Every structure is written in structure tokens, then in C-alpha cells.
Amino acid sequence: MSKYLSVENVFGGYFSHKPILKNISFSVNEGEMVGLIGLNGAGKSTTIKHILGLMKPQQGTIQIAGRTLEHAPLDYRASFAYVPETPELYDELTIQEHLHLSAFAYGLSEKDYLQRSEALLELFQMKDKAAHFPPHLSKGMRQKVMIMSAFLVEPALYIIDEPFLGLDPLGIRSLLELMVRFKKQGASFLICSHILSTLERYCDKFIVLHHGEILFQGTLSDMRQAAGSPEASLDDLFFELLRGQGVERS
């Protein structure tokens, strides 16, 4: 598999004299699902902001499909979709209008927009809410709008931050089914979540961040082998890694 997202030797943060990220390097291959895990403050959100182009690396490079934001900004941004932890919607647009706006931004044909939006509204049980405005929706419903907007445009890379927060069980199942389906079609995923049991089941490999540095990256088998625990869960292995850094379970 070839690399689709490549993060190489990245230092970054809000202040040049005090980087949050310290020499971060990892990749997400085509058709691969990667879990980004760590405690609060580990640097996960900062890593994602650098990939999105909201923050500029102090050192190092980030490429998506061989392109950098600096040299090919439009192609770079068009190659991924982002689902944030907190839904960010326009109060004056309906759900249907949000989907239409996403389709327009990514250059979808009207035919593809209609077919895909209809299927997504059906999958997430939102057809009867299509004409509603965000202030009248629950947090979980607003999160579904963000998810539908991302999957509507079918990019090659999905960057998803805590996608399960606020979703009902059916919404979680629908999201996971979509992720599996698109992964089989070659899409790549970088997922940040504290629900390690779900990541263990669906991700191909994992990146463990702690204080802005990578403690471990590799498959679950790699992690088990390194820990000498062939049957351990991702949850237990994660806290074993943290225990080696002086962090104890509360």
C-alpha cells in the first residue's frame, strides 16, 4: 500500500520556543484506518490542526497524495473531509442546504448529490429532519449532519475527531458501516477517539501520543508483542505504555 497522508518530522504548536508536537512522523496508507490515541493534552487535536492546515508546522512536512498545502492548496484541501468533535453548522441553513453546500464546494454533480444525500439521510434516520435548522436539532443530530456532509463528497481521506460523542447506538452503527464500506473502496481514515474498544475492532494500526511525542505506532499485534502480552486489549496496552511514563490509572 502506498502512503496517502504523510507527516514527517513535524514540530509545531502555538509558540515557536515551546513546541507541543516534537518530531512527529507517521503515515496513513491508501485503504488504511489509523487510530490516533492519547490522554487529554497529548497533542492529538494539535496534530489534526496541522494536517488540516489550521496551523503551520514550525519544522517538518505534511503531504496528502504527494501534495503540500503550500504548493497546491486547492488540491490539498479537496483531498480530505473533516468531521470535528463539536458540530459547526450555519444556523440559517437547513440540513438539506448544508449537504447541498458541501456538494457545491467539492464540485459534485447534481445527480451524485441527489443520490448520495438521499441515501445518507435514509441511513442516519434524518429524512424527516432535512428541512430543519440546526438550532432545532439535538447535538447528536447536528453531529450526523457533519458526518453526512463528509461522506457525501467521498474524498480519499477522512479525518475524524471523536465521532461517536452524542450519537445514538443506531447512529454509531451507521457510521461504522460507512467507514468499513468506504475503506473497502480504498479510502483512508485517521480517527481520534477515546473509545479504544471500537478503535481496536476497526483500525489497522495505532499511533499513541503522549506530551506531543509518539510513544508507539504499529498494529495491535506489534503492540502486544512489544508488551509481551499476546492476549491484551488495546485499552490495557495503552495504559501499560502510559504506566511506563509514570502515569497511573485513577
Q: 25-35: per-residue pLDDT in tens? A: 999 999 999 99
The span from the CA of 61 to the CA of 207, in Å, is 18
Residue 233 inside a domain? The answer is: yes
Residue 250 inside a domain? The answer is: no
Residue 249 inside a domain? The answer is: no
Between the alpha carbon of residue 74 and those of residues 78, 79, 80, 92, 150, the distances in Å are 6, 9, 11, 27, 17
Q: In terms of domains, do 144 and 160 share one? A: no
Q: Across the beta sheet with 59-64, what order do the strands follow? A: 21-29, 3-12, 59-64
Residue that is last in its domain, among 153, 176, 202 = 153
Q: In terms of domains, do 98 and 139 share one? A: yes
Q: In terms of domains, do 168 and 229 share one? A: yes
Q: 198-207: per-residue pLDDT in tens? A: 999 999 999 9
Residue 106 inside a domain? The answer is: yes
The pLDDT assigned to 238 comes to: 94
Q: Total domain count for the chain?
A: 2
The pLDDT assigned to 249 comes to: 59
Q: In terms of domains, do 175 and 98 share one? A: no
Q: In terms of domains, do 223 and 162 share one? A: yes
Q: In terms of domains, do 149 and 165 share one? A: no
User: For residue 107, what are the domain limits?
Assistant: 88-153
Q: 110-158: per-residue pLDDT in tens? A: 999 999 999 999 999 999 999 999 999 999 999 999 999 999 999 999 9
